[in-house]
Structure 1
Amino acid sequence: MRSARTSIVAGIVLMTVGVLLLLDLLGIVESAAYLAPLIFAAVGVLFLSLFIRGRENWWAAIPGSVFLGLAAVITATQLTDGRAGGAFLFLFMAAGFAAVYLRERANWWALIPCGVMFTLAIVVALPQELQGTPLAAVLFLGLAATFGLLSLVPVRTADHTGRMKWPLVPAAVLAVLGVAFALQATAVLIAAEYALPAAMILAGIALLVYAFRARHHGQHKTHGA
């Protein structure tokens, strides 16, 4: 059954490529414009079909999303002149990593590149007028949201199932940097040169608070035992 499905997909791809080449020879269409995205899309579909076949093939969603993203980027570039076409690659890759996590919840690490790719897709799609500090604000806030959401995901370990606390540390640091860049972009800060020192001070305070709470929680747990 699996070999039959693979043969069907491969047969459709070969027929489509042959038709395009024939139309190119007849001067009806220029196949070069469609051949590259078609090949990328076909390879992506093959990986996705492998992903669907079994839970152990969760890894196939990653290369499948990359090839489909490349096909989308080439197609969008040919159809439009905007720079937002590059965002499709990051969106497809984000979807691929999300599929990895949804297929196997033990792969919680996949949420990190998923959030990073989604954030990069937003950054690439931003208009030219928002380059500079607004772009940096979106980047850091998006990464902060990624780690913040990761702290809410239940993770199963050998002992128990619970939520991780360490993602709150990078989430706090990145959020402080993102807010600093956002304030700088909206001219709320007095001077641009104060943004980095203020962000570092606030990040240090966040780390100290986290360390104090973790130590206090550990002592309380020890005394309770």
Structure 2
Amino acid sequence: PERRNALGRARWLELQEIVQRARQDPQVRALLLTGSGERAFVSGADVGELVDRPPEVALEGLVQRLLLEIEDLPFPTVAALNGDAFGGGWELALACDFRVAAAHVRVGFPEVSLGIIPGAGGTQRLLQHVGLGRAKELILTGRPVPAPEALELGLVNRVVDGPAVLEAARELIQNVLANSARAVHLAKLVLNATARRDSGWDLERLAYTLSFHSDERRQRMRRFLDRTSRQRDRGNTGEARPG
């Protein structure tokens, strides 16, 4: 919680193992993801890891592949947004079938302020949800979107008071589980296949990799880390997002 649930490579690999075990376990009927604490669902990637990341590591597309695995799970998946979801955290939420957000939550893609772009499916899924014009606005400005606006845009399915997030997420899951598991799986297959554009996903991974060939990117990330370190030293508990 003290790092606002930022995810480094090790955490993504842990999540990948959980997802693969869940897929193989016939007793698992749904996946519900939420953050630890109350301030953040996932604040994004661990910027400290990204500063000196070689472009060839970015090209691997580890997180993009993992989120596709989550999207393709045969059972319902729900992100219960107990706190803010930025960058990779918002990409993770968008890979789920449903998103339930606490009223105070903000979501968004601040990557451009760090000299990179959303690289784990964020450009593709946001485009599917809100269309080209609004997707450009949200990605190119990097502005945070409050939960009520996210609901209007169709980016989240429910907005509730903070303490009710998990209950609302479980209720949504139960509504799906009341139906045929096989039919739900088949419907997801068709919907995901229709929405997905393979060329766009490849271009996203390439552009994300190219963004790592930049001294400006390193400088922006180091400034962000310096700023958040000063905030931590002062005991500032305000937002710790890039920008």
The TM-score, its normalising length taken from structure 1, stands at 0.26
The TM-score, its normalising length taken from structure 2, stands at 0.24
Structure number with greater CO (CA < 8 Å, separation at least 6) is 2
Structure (1/2) with the larger strand percentage = 2
Structure (1/2) with the larger helix percentage = 1
Larger Rg: 1 or 2? 1
